[in-house]
Amino acid sequence: MAKESGLGWSTLSVDNSATAAKDIKNDITNLQFATPRAVIDVTGIDKLAMERILGLADFNITMNGEFNDAADASHDVLSDVCSTSVVRTVAIGVSGQTLSCECLLTDYALTRAQGGELTWSVPAVLSDGTAPTWGP
């Protein structure tokens, strides 16, 4: 294996509210995602230091992008986050590795900056209890 950059993403798709996957990677300028694990304290009174085990897995992502209201582009896919309560698949693909999670999108926040740019931010969290797993 060789070290690689984060350039050239093959996939970043998000389901629209009709659960049809839409590739919106062209509108996304940056993102942050994590696959944290809960930590459970199981320290007995006989210990002099903390004792822990791993608990539940999780996934969260925040996608940021440029406003694009073309058909099947980011605004078309995300604009009804505030009025629908559907689980949406978020699929990430980079360097032949994929991660796909069922998520709840919790906001579609728009910002009009002083310079005139219109951007958005969408946070999402795991919804279905399936541990996120990277695969080829």
pLDDT tens track, the chain, 136 positions: 688 888 888 999 999 999 999 999 999 999 999 999 999 999 999 999 999 999 999 999 999 999 999 999 999 999 999 999 999 999 999 999 999 999 999 999 999 999 999 999 999 999 999 999 999 8
Alpha helix (H) residue ranges in the chain: 74-78
Segment holding 102, helix H or strand E: strand 97-105
What is the pTM for the complete model shown? 0.92
Q: Domain locations in the chain?
A: 11-126
Q: What is the pLDDT of residue 1?
A: 61
Q: Look at strands 97-105 and 88-94 and give their pairing.
A: antiparallel
User: What fold is seen in the domain 11-126?
Assistant: Elongation Factor Tu (Ef-tu); domain 3 (2.40.30)
